[in-house]
Amino acid sequence: MITDTSPCPIYFGPELDHSSWLTHENGNRRLDFDPLVYPLASGGWAYQERALSKRNIHFTQQKIIWECMEKSQCECGFYMKLKVKNDFLDLPWEEEIITTYSRMNLSEPADRLPAIAGIAKAYAKRHTLTYLAGLWKETIAHNLLWQNSERNPGPRIRPLVAPTWSWASSRGRTSPLHFSSDTMHIQVISYKYEPVAGGDRYSRLITARLHIAGTVAFGAITNCRDGVVQMKFEDKTVCVGMDYDISAAGEDYIEFGTVLPFLLLCDDSGRAVGAVLRCRNKERKEYERIGVSSHVKFDPFEFTTFHWVLRQATTMELILI
Ligand SMILES: [Zn+2]
């Protein structure tokens, strides 16, 4: 028998698309969102605040969502438990953290390093690593194998907001190159960075120089069919992904046919994998990174083997800027 006859409000509203919010790949919290639907959650600065917080409450257009290290729950009651207790700092740095971060919106390119400084500090402490402008000294050869994944990467950001060897210098999305070997073919002799006033190694950097010893082969950069860029060494080739649009007029323009250094970094099932450089100051041995080996299959019968490059290459010291 109903005794309470006072009015009771019932609300109706659009249902949240739970799949866009509560899907956790690899058992982790979802960190990439459609910027049109979730402008705050897809913002670069919000990324580390969210990632480093144990609990978050999101006020979306449709519903309020709770999120903690064990589950995400919508106010309608729908929830998803994480496969593993989520700890953001245990995620792989390049494959997960930087790949997702590079997809987030940052209106100011100079914020690319500062907006992830909090995560980097905590990550360095957890894994006992040495931070170098978005990369780690201990795994530097692998970390240097990031590639720009934009269809049109656009011109290089000038003035530079990070050293050219860091993904932070690149416009838009980046992702790591996958390869089969753990061998690193460069050695860091020293590094030097100059942060902005009052900053530290995690801040925006005015300069960051990496003094390395490595193996370098020289080849000509060529434009092949279908927009595939290659580096040609006599009759051998390596497919290359450029860090920016090298055809844009200005100080970063590079003419096809120019002979450039190829810095060997790793080997991948017998295939040479490395970075394409350009010399900026011969006397001071200063080089910029302009591209990286790409996995585009241009011609499976024509590629540069690791041992072939090694035979042609010379060992040298250089400064990556
Ligand atoms: Zn719901």
Q: pLDDT tens digits for 172-191? A: 899 998 877 777 889 999 99
Dist. CA 212 → ligand 1 center (Å): 53
pLDDT at residue 23, rounded to an integer: 55
Distance 122 CA to ligand 1 centre (A): 33
Q: Is the pLDDT of residue 306 over 80?
A: no
Mean pLDDT of 150-158: 92
Instruction: Name which of 226, 302, 310, 303 is nearest 265 in CA terms.
Output: 310
Distance between CA atoms of 164 and 157, rounded to whole angstroms?
10
At 46 the pLDDT is: 87
Mean pLDDT of the chain, nearest integer? 86
Q: Residue range 287-296: average pLDDT?
A: 87
Question: Cα of 25 to ligand 1 centre, how many Å?
Answer: 19
Q: What's the CA dihedral at 125, 131, 134, 136 to 10 degrees?
A: -100
pLDDT digits (tens, 9 = 90+) for 69-103: 888 888 888 888 876 656 778 889 999 899 989 98
Give distance in angstroms: CA of 95 to centre of ligand 1: 30
Each residue's pLDDT tens digit, 196-238 = 999 999 999 999 999 999 999 999 999 877 778 888 887 778 8
pLDDT level of residue 5 (50, 70, 90 thresholds): confident
Q: What pLDDT, in 10s, does the model give residues 30-60?
A: 666 777 777 787 888 888 888 888 888 988 8
**pLDDT per position as a tens digit, 117-134:** 999 999 999 999 999 999
What's the CA-to-centroid distance between 35 and ligand 1, angstroms? 20
Measured in angstroms, how far is the CA atom of residue 70 from the centroid of ligand 1? 17
Q: How far is the CA of 76 from the centre of ligand 1 (A)?
A: 4
- Mean pLDDT over 266-283 rounds to 88
Q: Report, in angstroms and rounded to the nearest whole number, the Rg of the chain calculated over CA atoms.
A: 23
Query: What is the structure's pLDDT at 252?
Result: 96
pLDDT of residue 301: 44
Mean pLDDT of 245-256: 94
**Ligand 1 midpoint to CA 100 (Å):** 25
What's CA 286's distance to the chain center, in Å? 23
Q: What per-residue confidence (pLDDT) applies to 267? A: 78
In this prediction, residue 31 carries a pLDDT of 65
Per-residue confidence band for 29, with pLDDT thresholds at 50, 70 and 90 = low
Q: What is the pLDDT of residue 238?
A: 84
HSE-up of 119 (CA within 13 Å, CB side)? 30
**Residues in Cβ contact with 72 at an 8 Å cutoff, skipping those fewer than 6 apart:** 21, 22, 24, 29, 30, 65, 66, 79, 80, 82
User: Given pLDDT bands bounded at 50, 70 and 90, which one contains residue 300?
Assistant: very low
Show the CA angle centred on residue 12, arms to residues 7 and 17, nearest 5°. Answer: 150
Predicted pLDDT of residue 298: 46
Give the amino acid at 204: R
State percent of the chain over pLDDT 70.
Answer: 90
79 CA → ligand 1 middle, Å: 8
Say if CB 31 and CB 86 are below 8 A apart.
no
Stronger pLDDT, 82 or 302, i.e. the higher one: 82
Check residue 302 and give its pLDDT: 47
304 has pLDDT over 60? no
- The better pLDDT of the pair 29, 179 is held by 179
In angstroms, what is the span from residue 11 Cα to ligand 1's centroid?
Answer: 13
If one compares 17 and 64, the residue with the highest pLDDT of the two is: 64
Structure tokens at 85: 């207790």
pLDDT on residue 51: 83
